[in-house]
Amino acid sequence: MRIALAQYNYHIGNFEYNTAKIIRGIQEARDRQADLAVFAELSVCGYPSGDFLEFKDYIDKCYRAIDEIAFHCKGIAAIVGAPHRNSNSKGKPLHNAAFFLENGKVKQIYLKGLLPNYDIFDEYRYFEPATEFDIVTYKGKRIALTICEDLWNLYDNPLYTQNPMGRLAEKGVDFMVNIAASPFAWDHGGERKNMLSQNAIRYRVPLLYVNQVGAQTELIFDGGSMAINAHGGITHELESFSEGLLMIETDEMGRKTGTKPSPDADHDKKVENIYKALVCGLKDYFGKLGFSKAILGLSGGIDSAVTMVIAADALGAENVLGVLLPGRFSSDHSVKDAEDLAKNLGCPHKIISITDTTTRFEENLKPWFKDLPFDVAEENIQARTRAVYLMALSNKFGYVLLNTSNKSEAAVGYGTLYGDMCGGLSVLGDVYKTDVFKLAGYINRDREIIPVNTIIKPPSAELRPDQKDSDSLPEYDILDQVLFQYIEKRKGPDELVQMGFDKKLVNRTLKLVNTCEYKRYQTPPILRVSSKAFGMGRKMPIVARYLG
Amino acid sequence: MRIALAQYNYHIGNFEYNTAKIIRGIQEARDRQADLAVFAELSVCGYPSGDFLEFKDYIDKCYRAIDEIAFHCKGIAAIVGAPHRNSNSKGKPLHNAAFFLENGKVKQIYLKGLLPNYDIFDEYRYFEPATEFDIVTYKGKRIALTICEDLWNLYDNPLYTQNPMGRLAEKGVDFMVNIAASPFAWDHGGERKNMLSQNAIRYRVPLLYVNQVGAQTELIFDGGSMAINAHGGITHELESFSEGLLMIETDEMGRKTGTKPSPDADHDKKVENIYKALVCGLKDYFGKLGFSKAILGLSGGIDSAVTMVIAADALGAENVLGVLLPGRFSSDHSVKDAEDLAKNLGCPHKIISITDTTTRFEENLKPWFKDLPFDVAEENIQARTRAVYLMALSNKFGYVLLNTSNKSEAAVGYGTLYGDMCGGLSVLGDVYKTDVFKLAGYINRDREIIPVNTIIKPPSAELRPDQKDSDSLPEYDILDQVLFQYIEKRKGPDELVQMGFDKKLVNRTLKLVNTCEYKRYQTPPILRVSSKAFGMGRKMPIVARYLG
């Protein structure tokens, strides 16, 4: 059987766009002699659709789209993901379903059995899990069709009490098809490939995997759709972060030698993959919202520099405006470094001094501040004044402001709410400072785009004389390790000390992270590139008092 | 049997505080001759604990607290809520459990069977639902112990496929005990009472209900712990929004006449209950975070006036600083109305003119803005300049800034991000404008606290000459009805038109709501008083294009 794997970028709620794209995919697949075209999980409405799934109108539109797509399935079959109403009188009102379309009609509907409800996933909010699973028979082949998480219950201590693929395998299977909406994380690709490969090995049949591609706000889907032979070797693979249609002859799968997933691939390609993911995420945020131009504050530091490079790559250099906003404590090299960067990239830039404005604020506050010493209040006035200028330009000319905070800062609250924490999208909010340096190295791999001085000077917010980040924070080398273990690996204070970290440093860091939830609550959406990003995938109560 | 229902206010993650409080409750109950003391769901760690539940250290601390509490259960038994590790090799790592403590030890552990995972609930994120349910036998009585949602599967089309209480009833029961963490919503109290009453009627035994009280960030728990006889009549009830220990003689329950829940109670007491809930929410936000003083911008309008009254009630008038920040377009009456309010309440106030600062911004932007017409950019400069002043005072003196936006504004995006949308907590963000007027009426029920002029003048942001809200928004009377049906009732565009709303108005309103998700993403936590508040209970994708 000849099968087309369609790795496409959908737009949540945009039924017209998604339906047209799927129908074009079916037509192209038929033109290329495919028997079956396979599209991603919930491709009809986009994933994740959130609480739109609670609207009757939204679900009605899904069914209408399925009917329209089915109408075009003549001389070819298709597998398309969409919600399906629960016909049982008990349980949640919907299922997460895969529709098998043939001869202009819905032939069979497969319902997802394992519903992820951790990290960024909350499928149990909307869907009832299926407990019965049937094989799809098509052109004499027995296909085990499953949806994403359905294949993820392989290991010891499984998260679910049932195993849909195990049940299907008992019924006799020629090959497996899995449709997915599995987001990128730099350390997740290898795990995903390995898990898919292990399924092929366990059930001794080939597996075709179709993931969606493109970003939906903070979630970046990398695609990575592939074919795996019955020995667990990857025989075909679509390029990540781009759309494509891959043709597979299932009868030839047995003869194809495949590559076993490499356990080191994630680490080897970490920086490159994060860079590509961020470009994809930024591009889709603007594209899907209908914006084309970005603005950001350029400090001469490494965070704004890396952000600007990614934005220029995603939107075109001419569409990214850098604004230098020197204040009383800005060093001369900051302005020069920022200007050099804009010139190297070919991005427009402006300079606006904030000094007379911050003086105005301070003068007007004098009757109340009197002779109290300069402190965080005056520091924040500078950061917030910059935000007022950036947002004024954004409002006047239709730029979207990019936030340039990194994950280390976001973790310990080293940033000014309504100041440098402003922006429509946080580009680096899931990248630790030490990894921001690595991104800069990657960007400069062929030539000096980010000025070397920006990379080698000690990080500073320049909000008071001779300030350095290291005045108030541990060195990033150590800090980032503690943060990674606490945030990504959920290690508690005792475990961290047992790992060899200094107890005082651990307590101080965990306290900072926990007491800054109120700040992170108000940050922009953060492009997610790790397995635990701040935002929708990490839910912490603001008023808690724990390790704080 | 004599049972003490302990309606207490817990602090998430604060094990020392919660444990000491529960032990004091057990001692008081024993002093008052109780056989059993009952505490709320997850009382040991506080509800909701969020992703802290994923930390080994957090769960270890829960067990240690249970041991310590059990040690004090001598001559009395207690029911306490805490997470319990799943001993099965399959499924989520935890259960949501009720520990029955007796003779210094854990005697029995009941596991929750129905896990709410809608609106603000996400229990399936952490817990595995139980499928086996056992009676607790104590002093010759057969007690059906359940946890919150376990009793909520009574009606047709139930959300769950199993019914724990039905299973327990088959085993023979003398009375039911339900421990809960059920948050307040103005239209939920009647539904809750009715559902509890229906359980008593169906299973023909009395029911003792213990809910937690107090606020955890945006969630306000009203308590409302009660005893219901076997005919569904409420015989005893603790006061809402306050702590208390209620003693019940179960043997006398049959002789007590109870009151059947009134279907109109929610509507009759709506405004009063919302007011009390907001005072409770504001007080606990400050108390649990260790703050005592609030600051807010006073515009002379009704939203900031109502917010100030609630803050003064919660924190004491002397701890609430009102700042008047008149700008170029502020009317004289705005300043006078705001001053009158502060005087009526006895709150301190300051006046800072923003005009010279906004002029500074505009002058410095002149080279780029040139002769472009005055628009939203200049409007927002005013709102953002005010925020810089308020946050400077907040930073210098340790005030928490209160956000004064109402739900109607938040819905349609009528507010300035990083301007009037700033604040540590949104007090009125779940109260529609028409209900803000009702709150003002309630506040003024005995004397004029909010100046009448503030109430009767047409709402205006005063960011351009003679501006009125009605210039850019439909009249609030109609707007709020459409918003309520769309947000609370999840009615789609066709349904709204069928209900009689104007099609153009519907389309315009829904488009505004959907395209402003990016703004609401960055608003402060909103005190939740309705069944569908913006924030954690409403998840909408920012980049969607649906009805927008």
Contacts of A540 in chain B (CB under 8 A): 50-52
Q: Work out the number of other CB atoms within 10 angstroms of the CB of residue B44.
A: 27
Phi then psi for A445, rounded to 5 degrees? -65, -30
Q: Looking at B152-246, list the stretches that DSSP marks H as alpha helix, in order from N- to C-terminal side.
A: 164-169, 189-203
| Pair of tokens at residue B410 | 């938040």
Which of A148, A347, A422, A516 is the catalytic position?
A148
**Helix, strand or coil for residue A531?**
coil
**Domain co-membership, A245 together with A372:** no
CA dihedral B258, B262, B268, B273 (to 10 degrees): 60
A159 CA to chain B: closest CA distance, Å? 4
Q: Which of A:387-416 have CB within 8 Å of B? A: 387-389, 391-393, 395-396
Across the A:B interface, residue pairs with CB atoms under 8 Å apart total 278
Predicted confidence (pLDDT) at residue B466 exceeds the cutoff of 90: no
Q: For residue A41, indicate whether it is catalytic.
A: yes
Residue A85 lies in a domain: yes
Does the annotation mark A516 as catalytic?
A: no
Tell me the residue range of the domain where A53 lies: 2-256
A382's enclosing H/E stretch is: helix A376-397
The answer to whether residue A299 is domain-embedded is yes
Q: Which of A372, A538, A542 is the best substitution to test chain B (most B C-beta atoms within 10 A)?
A: A542
Token pair in block for residue B79: 């029911």
pLDDT of residue A295: 98
Q: Are B62 and B173 in the same domain?
A: yes
Phi, psi of B324 (to 5 degrees): -90, 130
Q: Residue B543 and residue A288: Cα distance in Å, rounded? A: 6
State whether B14 and A545 contact (CB < 8 Å).
Answer: yes
Q: pLDDT under 50 in chain A at which residues? A: none
Q: Please identify, among A203, A230, A256, the residue that sits at the C-terminal boundary of a domain.
A: A256
Residues B194 and B297 in one domain: no
Record: contact A543-B285, CB cut-off 8 A: yes
Residue B254: pLDDT over 90: no
Walk across the sheet containing A77-85 and list its strands: A105-111, A94-102, A77-85, A36-38, A2-7, A244-249
B535 touches A: beta carbon within 8 Å: no
Look at residue A185 in the predicted model and tell me its pLDDT. Answer: 98
Contacts of B423 in chain A (CB under 8 A): none
Q: At residue A280, what is the residue type?
A: C
The one catalytic residue in A112, A407, A433, A491 is A112
Residues of B in contact with A157 (CB under 8 A): 89-90
- Domain at A349, CATH number: 3.40.50.620
Identify which of B525, B541, B547 has the shortest CB distance to residue A12.
Answer: B541
Contact predicate A213/A43, CB 8 Å: no
User: Does one domain contain both A190 and A298?
Assistant: no
- Determine, for residues B544 and A46 on separate chains, whether the beta-carbon distance falls below 8 Å: yes
- B232 and B291 share a domain? no
Does one domain contain both B298 and B230?
A: no
A312 Cβ contact list (under 8 Å, min separation 6): A320, A345, A346, A347
Q: Which residues 254-283 of chain A have a CB within 8 Å of chain B?
A: none
Chain B residues near residue A117 by CB distance under 8 angstroms:
117, 122, 124-125
Domain count, chain B: 2
pLDDT at B257 (0 to 100): 87
State the smallest CA–CA distance between residue B355 and chain A in angstroms: 11
Q: What does the H/E/C string look like for A7-55?
A: ECCCCCCCHHHHHHHHHHHHHHHHHCCCCEEECCCCCCCCCCCHHHHHC
- Regarding whether A252 and A289 lie in a shared domain, the answer is no
Confidence band, pLDDT 50/70/90 cuts, at residue B154: confident
Based on the fold, state whether residues A246 and A278 are members of the same structural domain.
no
B309, burial (CB in 10 Å: exposed 0-12, middle 13-18, buried 19+): buried
Percent of chain B with pLDDT over 70: 100
CA B292, CA B226: separation in Å to the nearest integer? 32
**Beta-carbon separation of B159 and A92 below 8 A:** yes
**A528 found inside a domain:** no
pLDDT tens by residue, A5-50: 999 999 999 999 999 999 999 999 999 999 999 999 999 999 999 9
Q: Is there a contact between A384 and B389 if contact means CB atoms under 8 Å apart?
A: no
In this complex, the residue of B352, B361, B372 whose CB is nearest that of residue A388 is B361
Nearest CA in chain B to A283: B543
Q: Do B380 and A391 touch (CB under 8 A)?
A: yes
| Cβ pair B375:A387 closer than 8 A | no
Interface test with B, best of A324, A399, A403, A546 (most B CBs within 10 A): A546
Nearest to B224 by CA among B175, B174, B276, B154: B276
End-to-end, the C-alpha distance of chain B in Å comes to 60
Q: SS3 for A210? A: strand
Residue A538 belongs to a domain: no
Q: How far is A141 from chain B (nearest CA, A)?
A: 33
Q: Which of residues 423-482 of B touch A (CB under 8 A)?
A: 424
Would A517 be classed as within a structural domain? no
pLDDT number for residue A93: 96
CB atoms under 10 Å from CB of B254, counted, come to 12
Domain boundary among B469, B492, B513: B469
- Option in B48, B391, B536 nearest A418 (CB): B391
Helix, strand, or coil (residue A405) = coil
Residue A247 lies in a domain: yes
CATH code of the domain in which B247 resides: 3.60.110.10
Mean pLDDT, range B154-161, rounded to an integer: 85
- What CA–CA distance (Å, rounded) separates B546 from A216? 14
User: Quick check: A406 and B424 in contact, CB under 8 A?
Assistant: no
CA distance A288 to chain B (A): 6
Given B252, B282, B305, the domain boundary residue is: B252
Tell me the mean pLDDT in the region B495-512.
97
Contact yes or no for A99/A106 (Cβ under 8 A): yes
Regarding whether A330 and A192 lie in a shared domain, the answer is no
A314 and A214 in a single domain? The answer is no
- The set of catalytic residues of B is 41, 112, 148
Let me know if residue B531 belongs to a domain: no
Rounded to an integer, the average pLDDT of B397-411 is 98
**Which uninterrupted H or E stretch holds B508?**
helix B503-515
- Range 120-139 of A in CB contact (< 8 A) with B: 122, 124-125, 128
Q: What is the per-residue pLDDT for A89?
A: 87
State the smallest CA–CA distance between residue A384 and chain B in angstroms.
6
- Kindly state the tokens that stand for A356: 């007379």
Note if the pTM is more than 0.95. Answer: yes
Measure in Å the smallest separation between the Cα of B249 and chain A Cα atoms: 36
What distance lies between CA B177 and its chain's CA centroid?
24
Q: B428-437 pLDDT, tens per residue?
A: 999 999 999 9
Question: How far apart, in Å, do the first and last CA atoms of chain A sit?
Answer: 60
Whether B406 and B460 map to the same domain: the answer is yes
Sign of CA dihedral B4, B9, B13, B17: negative
Nearest-CA distance B499 → chain A (Å): 15
Considering only CB atoms, B490 lies closest to which of A54, A158, A540, namely A54
Show residues of chain A in contact with B540, CB under 8 Å. 50-52
Say which residue, A156 or B365, is predicted with more confidence: B365
Does residue B276 lie within any of the structural domains? Answer: yes
Interface of B with A in 331-370 (CB under 8 A): 350, 352-353, 356-357, 360-361, 364-365, 368-369
ipTM over 0.95: yes
Both A51 and A152 in one domain: the answer is yes
